[in-house]
Structures are given as C-alpha cells and as structure tokens.
Amino acid sequence: MLSQGFVSAAAIAASVLFVLSLGGLSNQEKAKRAVWYGIVGMAVAVFFTAFGPGIGAYWLMIPMVIVGAVVGAYVAKKVEMTEMPQLVAALHSFVGLAAVFVAWSADLERRRVLAARALDAGAEQFSAFAALVATKAPDELMFLQIEVVLGVFIGAVTFTGSVIAFGKLAGKVDGKPKQLPGGHLLNAGAAALSLLLAILYLNGAGFWTLLLIAALAFFIGYHLIMGIGGADMPVVVSMLNSYSGWAAAAIGFTLSNDLLIVTGALVGSSGAILSYIMCKAMNRNFVNVILGGFGGTQGPAAEIEGEQVAIDAGGVASALNDADSVIIVPGYGMAVAQAQNAVSELVRKLRSAGKEVRFGIHPVAGRLPGHMNVLLAEARVPYDIVLEMDEINDDFASTDVVIVIGSNDIVNPAAQEDPNSPIAGMPVLKVWEAKQVFVCKRGQGTGYSGIENPLFFKENTRMFYGDARQSIDSLLSQID
C-alpha cells in the first residue's frame, strides 16, 4: 500500500502530463508526443490510485482492469478512423453512467454512516469510502449531497445524450432534429422538476429523489440531442466531451480524489472552450446550439437554378495537368471512403510536376474536431500545406482548380447568400470563387445534414461522381 504522499506526488505529475498532452494536441507536429504524455499520465494516475491508501478488493479490481484493458485494445484495433467520432461519443456515455453509479453509491454509504452513528457503531464496520464520510462534519455532508446531485444530473444527461449522439453519428438514428410536442418546454420542465427534487433531497428526502432526478436527466439528455441537427454534430461531440469532464470532476469531489477533480476540470473546461470556438467558427450562438436551436429550416429556402453537370476522370485529370495551383478541400466523405492515402499520393504526383498544392480545412470538417487533420497526418501529408479556413479563404479566387472531397455544408454558398438557410451566416470555404471546382461525391443527395448545396449547380462546378477513393485512384495514372 502506497502512502498518501506518493499518491499526491503522482497526482501532480499526472496532472502536468495531462496539461502537456492537451497543449501538444493543438499542433500536428507535436500531437504524437502529446498522445504519449496522456498515455503515461493516465498509467501513473491509475497505478497510484489503485494502490493508494484505503483501496482494497483487489480480487475484484484487478480482473475488471484486465477485462477493460483487453476490451479497449480490441476496440482500438477494430475501429476505423471513420468510426472515431461515434466511438468518442460512446466513451463519453461510459463516463456519464459511471458518475451516476458513483453518486448513487456515495449516497447509500452516507446513509449507512448516519445510521451507524445513530447506533454508535464502530468505524471498523465502515467501507473505505464510508470511513471517509464518517470523518465529515454535518456541513461537509451537505456539500457531499450537493456533489451527489450534480454527479447524478450531469452524468445522466451525458449518458443518454452521448448514446443519441453515437446513434446519429453512426447513422442508426435520423440526423434531422426531432423533438416531442412541447419542445424546449419539456426540457425546461424536467430541469425545474429536477431542481425541486434536489431541494427535497438536500432537506432529508429519501433515495427515491436521486432515482427520479436520474430519470429526468436521462430524458433531458435524450431529448436535447435529438433536437440538434446533423450540421451541428461536431459541436455536440465537443460539448458532450465537456459534460463528461464535469461529471468526472463531480465524482472526484465525491470521492475526495484530487486527481479526478483536476482531470475532470481539464476535460470539462477544454471541451467547453472548444465548443465555443467551433460555434464561433460556424457563426452559431453557443446557447442555441446546446438547446437544439439549430439544424432545421429558418424559412423557405432560395430556389436553386441550373443543373448538376457530371465529369469523368479524364476531364478532371486534364484540368489538373493544365493547372498551376490546386486546393483540396476534404470532408467526411473522404473519411468514409478511406481515401486519404490516395489523396496523399495524388498530392505527391502533382507537387512532383511542379504544381502548388494545398489543403483547405474548415474548423468543423468531418464529424469530430480535427478529424481531417488527423486523417491527413496519418496519410503523411506535409503539415505545411494543410491550412485552416482563415489562412486560405482569400486564395480561392486566384486558384486554378479546387477538388472538394465529400464535403457539403462547409463549402455551401447558401451560408452567405440565403438568409433562410439553416446554416445562414456560417463562415464557409469560398471554393466557388476558383476557376474550376470538381466535387467528388457518391450521388446527388443532400448529405448528412440534409441541406441542398447551390455549389453543385454553378457553371464552374463539375460533379465527379463515385466512391472517393476509387475516383482519386482513377486520376493517378492520368497525371503527367
């Protein structure tokens, strides 16, 4: 059994590693090292927590850790990068459910301590956590109850919200916003009733109040995310990441675990900041997004004129061979088709021919923040030619060819031209200003968010239909 001093020192070390990990993930060149910081920090945290003072039942803990490690390794090897967004959402749900169970257990132990005190029972009858509770004064027990309520409520919202987000990202739940009759009033009513039950609980009501709070919070999480449209799902993922962090922090306060408090606060605050940054990049109101205020139509959409004109691989290759400057705009379609390696090879051939090739990355491209950057880094695309929207948006007008691979909303001119569009006001990549635009797309559908794109009907746009990887592969042999 390790002393508390060792555990406290390990908590500080792990916290520093987590901070370094978060800081490094903002830069592609440092990302791999940052991931290792996080891995080492988590290993230190788990080891010193497991063997710290007051911890026992290793006969149960060790097998569970082994089972979890085996399952985690299996999932990590099986899950493709295209499935990473839904995996992240699923993992958030585990954190939320864990918070609910820990909070329930904490309250049961609190009640046990109070009953034992009433009977003058000895401390030797207490579990490790109950012994910790037994040292608390009455006012500290009140704070414990507040922590329990927060853990149950935030954890339950995170759980069902993450499950629905997983379903939408995996295509198992319709991506269009849907709410029950009453809409936001149902969420507000459930939140108000939860607050009333919390007050009753803090004033001595039974365990049933926590069960009802959990049930109401489960409903809020479900109904909240169901009401958010596909166009806002990247923000939803980072928002749920924040929720899971605050749920973990609540668990940390309940268990008096400083490391869990620090880690949860880091995840919660970074997730909230990322959500705000993404909302700003999408010209969204943060409060409206998290309340499901976007994703539906704002009025009659502008009528689109023209037709979608298809082109074959030969036509695209000819334009690329004649071009001096090329910008590639990747989206989730590239991830689905796993076309990143073919795109990387195309870039290599074009650059070898002396052409200027760059990538334009929208902040919410894909279904997870940084999704496209990770895919391109995995395919060994040079970091210096991968540019963010603000860095490259003014260059489209002087670009010969733009290739859009599986993107819809982030290159949709309706965001600037149609005030009734669901994405009106959202900053987008102005690809239509280039001399020629080729859109790699499976078919004529409206994409995940269900929003029509006038770009596909413009005179300088040609539709390069087919699977993105096969389409790009068909170009490789025709590039001079």
- Active-site positions? 409
The token pair that represents 312 in the structure block: 């074959």
The b-or-e profile of 272-300 (16+ CB within 10 A means b, else e) is bebbbebbebbebebeebbbbbbbbeeee
